[in-house]
């Protein structure tokens, strides 16, 4: 069973370019963790971001639930703290986890 781990981001517009560069490096680091197969950074079009913000979604595909569990246990606290330390409340994140029974 494939796992999709999505992180929805709302970023203050005036730091969007700096955040995009940081996010690229962050995603590359995530792909180094066991079980992370691929990732994509998407600009969210609907619903639109509020005035003065940019909305993005990072979608990771993981091999299985065990890979996600290991990430959440061993790496997530540090990875999340790095973003908070750098951008504070100028970036807001929400997450969701989806499981795929079949891929076509």
The domain made up of 2-100 has a fold known as Alpha-Beta Plaits (3.30.70)
**49: which DSSP letter?**
P
Please state, for a pLDDT cut of 90, what percent of the chain lies above it: 88
Q: How far is CA 83 from CA 16, 75, 88, 91, 99, in A?
A: 13, 13, 7, 8, 26
Q: How many Å apart are CA 5 and CA 98, to the nearest integer?
A: 6
Closest residue by Cα to residue 5 from 45, 49, 65, 47: 65
Query: Which of 19-28, 45-54, 76-85 is predicted with the least confidence, judged by mean pLDDT?
Result: 45-54
| pLDDT band per the 50, 70, 90 thresholds, residue 104 | confident
| Domain residue spans of the chain | 2-100
What does the pLDDT read at residue 36? Answer: 98
Residue 62, pLDDT above cutoff 80 = yes
Residues 6+ apart with CB under 8 A from 29: 79
Give the rounded distance of the alpha carbon of 12 from its chain centre.
16
Sign of CA dihedral 12, 15, 21, 25: negative
Q: What are phi and psi of 63, to 5 degrees?
A: -65, -40
């Amino acid at each position: 069973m494939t796992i999709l781990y999505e992180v929805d981001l709302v970023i203050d517009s005036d730091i969007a370019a700096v955040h995009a560069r940081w996010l690229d490096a962050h995603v590359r680091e995530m792909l180094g963790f066991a079980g992370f197969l691929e990732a994509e950074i998407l600009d969210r079009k609907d619903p639109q971001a509020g005035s003065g913000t940019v909305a993005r979604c990072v979608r990771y595909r993981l091999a299985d639930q065990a890979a996600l569990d290991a990430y959440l246990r061993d790496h997530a606290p540090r990875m999340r703290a790095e973003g908070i330390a750098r951008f504070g409340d100028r970036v807001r994140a929400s997450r969701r986890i989806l499981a795929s029974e079949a891929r076509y």
